[in-house]
Structure 1
Amino acid sequence: MRSNLFRRSRPSAALVSDPNLAVLQTDEGSVVTSLPPSGSGAPGGGLLHLPLRRRLVAFGFLLIAEFFYGWAWNTVDVLRPLFRASLGLTLTQAGSAYSAQGAGALIGAISIGQLADKLGKRNMLVVVMAGYGALLLAGTLVHSYVGLLLQRFVLGLFLGGSFPVVVGIYVELFRPTLRGKLASAINATFSLAIITLGLCFGHLGHHDWRTLLWIGGLPPLLLAVLAYIAIPSAERSYKSGSGKLPLAELFTPALRRQTLLLASMTGLNFFAYQAFSGWLTTYLLNTRHLPKDVVGHLVAAQFAGNILGGFFWGGLSDRFGRRSGAIGFFITAAAIVAYLTVPADQWLLLGIGSLYGFALSASVIWGPWLAELYPPHLKSTASSIFNWGRLVSFFSPILTGQIAEHFGMQAGMLVSSLIFAVAAFIWLSLPETMRRHA
């Protein structure tokens, strides 16, 4: 073994490390590992100098914000058969509500992510919570297809900004070797929101579906201002090395290929997710002809698996690296084929759906991973790449809706299996940011 095995070196341009990461030279090449946490006065030290209790309170508030973000986002899928019937929409029209929301999310992710890096993540957290709470409530006033598209687009602006802001905050609160587990907790809260929404769908679906918008929209609107108490303000201890906009820095020659591959991977993920999960309640109700309460339980089971899987994949990524989760996407692809081809047995669908949710949560690490792949002053902007993929997913409900109308819902949803597999191969081709463990 060479004597420079653990010699720190300057990160290569293709892999700009987190301030709490160092590049190690090995016989296999450069890999990145965690450094001891920086003190408050160290460049890029973030919020690690704060007492643990203070940081846990802040993270707890982020979990509350994530719950209502998850509720607001997923109403476009879970409530799709209800607002479709209420507004008299075709399958394609109902699916385009997601496209409108996704378009808003893309713009929101890019703009709010940059504003968070420039104006402060805590300030933007207040804005996005109040925004998606108010816009979800605005959905109760929608009585036309055009009104639905407009409401979902503006709602998406605030929803798209939530992920980069939340990730940008918690990666400064805790060291890299804990971030996979933190991302798992965020993922679990998001899934818990969908489980709760699914159960409410089963029990309240016979009433006015707009009640579910009130339940999810009012709390974040009222709680937003508490972010100024719960979330500490991070002092800027690092500066950009250029006068470029944060977004432009992601496309410098050294980072352009990495950025484009990440955007492609997230795009395929969102496209595939919409092709399967976006039509799930519609498929179970209209193709499998299952009752609403059973459908609600199947949705809940899928995201119960997602919660368990999130902790598994998050812990795995902290130990074996961020790319280890690609295995989950291969399992996801296989589970989709099984789900759409087995008999309509409630317990069989429940088991396969739980496996699908378990494997799908492998992407839980993407938030911290994106922040680690770029310089510290770009944490929120880099994390917003997660939502750039929605540009590709805009077309998923429309294209799969067309396939479903001509060849059946099963055919439209099967497309997602192949796309998840392609996304997994791209994942494996991207840089690693954690030390490899034997």
Structure 2
Amino acid sequence: MSVGAPARSEGRDEIGAIPTYPSLGRAVTAFAFLLVAEFFYSFAWNSVDVLRPYIRDSLGLTLTEAGSGYSAQGAGALLGAIVIGQLADRFGRRNMLVAVMIGYGLSLLAGVAVDSYGQLLAQRFVLGLFMGGVFPIVVGIYVGLFPNNVRGKLASMINAVFGVAVIALGLAVRLLPVGEGTSWHVLLWIGGVPPILLSLLAYLIVPGTAETRNVAMRQPRRLPVLDLFRPGLALQTTMLAALMGLNFFAYQAFSGWLTTYLNDVRGLSSSAIGSLVAWTFAANIAGGFFWGWAGDRFGRRFNALGFFGGAASIAAYLLVPSDVRLLGPIGALYGFMLSASVIWGPWLTELYPAHLKSTAASIFNWGRVVSFFAPILTGSLASAVGLGAAMAVSSVIFILAGLLWLALPETHPRPRLPGRRVFGDHHADQS
């Protein structure tokens, strides 16, 4: 079966009917446009980290002030995911895709005019507000372009584009004259102008969501997010939010302290640390393709095995000697296992009706609330028991997250792991 054809009856996305999808050519073209939007979103998102030393120098900020730019951006993203995801379900995902592309492009360009700490926080918060809507919108669109048996592979491509954007940003810093004064502003222009110019092409390339809006019009006139907590869905939504929170906390508790740990505890050189981080990053991209395929082949809950593997690799990483030949492969295994969550975008949309797809996808970003507290809690614990022991907590949390994942519903018609299927339930995927 081609990916542009209707899904087989055992994998149908709509109760009592086989869903229809755009032609394969149009679906592929639209998805390619989404990849472009995702690239510039990723470029803008990571600019707060990659450009941090230049922002700090040009504004005369302390380390804490420079780092808080990310916190402002993350807070904006959390709010944006909730608000913009609902607007996308109510007024059309294509319309909101155009709006957020223009929004994050202009907001990134506004960084050129920032000349104080307060302005930096405001600019990054507004930028995060628009960028928080990208994930729920993009996922909500591409699950309507292709049947459920290829959506994991699509999610892995989105994951890879995020990594490519980070690499491109890093290369741009090396190749362009951004080391003095405000010369780094050129990177804001490179990242901000293209999405603004390309945004209106969405109306020509991306199919509309009129059928989704028709479904929404038949629903009660209330906030879509409230439907996530209606009877029959409230427990599922709460469990999903907890799963996302555990994932973000565990990631921050280990990855957030990794370079500090390698430097302060292991005593490794900067070149060795850079090499180890590169191993982890590259393996994460490669793992995304495996876990995307696995989620399509064996079921969304199958990927929970990745969290158990990640927990084991964290324990091994903290226990082996300070030998790059050992830490490198184990770190790569951790990065590979961590990308198991790549399937969450499609899975979240498949667990809810059509008029809630983007709102449901926004649940992913709800977990960021928990991650805000991870550095504080693990830092306090590290002062009492040591950094390595504090980071080991992430291993336990990944195990808890994996168990919670296995307790949630399955949307695959023939899952490899036993568990409840939701096709045929009242809240099954209704593309």
Give the TM-score normalised by structure 1: 0.80
Q: 1:270 to 1:212 in 2, by over 3 A?
A: farther
- 2:160 corresponds to: 188
The Cα of 1:177 is off from its aligned counterpart by: 0.9
Q: Structure 1 counterpart of 2:354, which letter?
A: P
Range moving further from structure 2, 264-273 or 349-358: 349-358
Give 1:371 shift: 0.5
Alignment of 1:172-321 (within 5 A): 172-198=144-170, 207=179, 212-236=187-211, 237-239=214-216, 240-281=218-259, 296-321=274-299
**Which one is further off, 100-109 or 225-234?**
225-234
* Match for residue 69 of structure 1 among 26, 41, 44: 41
Identity of aligned residues (%): 60
Cα deviation digits, residues 23-46 of structure 1 (max 9, x gap) = xxxxxxxxxx512899xxx97846
Structure 1 unmatched ranges of 5 or more: 1-18, 23-32
Q: Determine which of 62, 75, 78 is the counterpart of 1:89.
A: 62
Pairs within 5 Å for 1:36-435: 45=19, 48=21, 50-79=22-51, 83=55, 87-90=60-63, 93-198=65-170, 207=179, 212-236=187-211, 237-239=214-216, 240-281=218-259, 296-402=274-380, 410=388, 413-435=391-413
Pair 289,326 (structure 1): closer, same or farther in 2 beyond 3 Å: same
The 2-side partners of 1:173 and 1:165 are apart by: 13
3-state SS in 2 of match to 1:172: coil
Task: Note closer, same or farther for the CA distance 1:378–1:250 as it changes in structure 2 (3 Å cut).
Answer: same
- Residue 150 of structure 2: SS of its match in structure 1? helix
When residues 435 and 289 of structure 1 are mapped into structure 2, their CA distance, relative to the original with a 3 A threshold, is same
After superposing the two structures, state which structure 1 stretch, 187-196 or 346-355, moved more.
346-355
CA-CA distance at 1:420 after TM superposition: 2.0
Q: Is the 8 A contact 1:110 1:384 kept in 2?
A: yes
Cα drift, residue 434 of structure 1: 0.7
Mark the CA change 1:226 to 1:412 in structure 2 (over 3 Å): closer, same or farther.
Answer: farther
* Maintained 8 Å contact 2:305/2:402: yes
Q: Structure 1 residues 224, 274: CA separation in 2 closer, same or farther (over 3 Å shift)?
A: farther
189-198 or 425-434, which deviates more: 189-198
Q: Secondary structure at the match of 1:233?
A: coil
**1:289 Cα deviation from its structure 2 partner:** 6.7
One-letter amino acid matched to 2:151: R
1:209-254 CA-partner distances (Å, limit 9, x unpaired): 6555444334323322222222121322534443332111111021
Q: Is the 8 A contact 1:205 1:292 kept in 2?
A: no
CA gap 1:165/1:426 in 2 versus in 1, 3 angstroms: same
Provide the rounded CA distance (Å) in 2 between the counterparts of 1:340 and 1:81: 29
Deviates more, 1:299-308 or 1:354-363: 299-308
C-alpha contact 2:104 2:130 (8 A) present in aligned 1: yes
CA contact 1:102–1:393 (8 Å) conserved in 2: no
Task: Output the CA distance in 2 between the equivalents of 1:195 and 1:296.
Answer: 14
Structure 1 residue 168: Cα displacement? 0.5
Contact 1:265–1:423 (CA under 8 A) maintained in structure 2: yes
The answer (yes or no) to whether the contact 2:12–2:18 under 8 Å persists in 1 is no
CA distances 1:183-213 after superposition (whole Å, capped 9, x unpaired) = 1111121222234445556777982565554
| Alpha-carbon distance between aligned partners in 2 of 1:257 and 1:178, rounded to the nearest angstrom | 28
Following TM superposition, by how much is the alpha carbon of 1:21 offset from its aligned partner in structure 2, in angstroms? Answer: 9.0
- 1:9 — aligned with what? none
Q: Which amino acid aligns with 1:223?
A: L
- Distance in 1 (CA, whole Å) between partners of 2:374 and 2:204 is 40
Conserved 8 A contact 1:195-1:304: no
Contact 1:195 1:300 survives alignment (8 Å): no
SS of 1:238's partner is helix
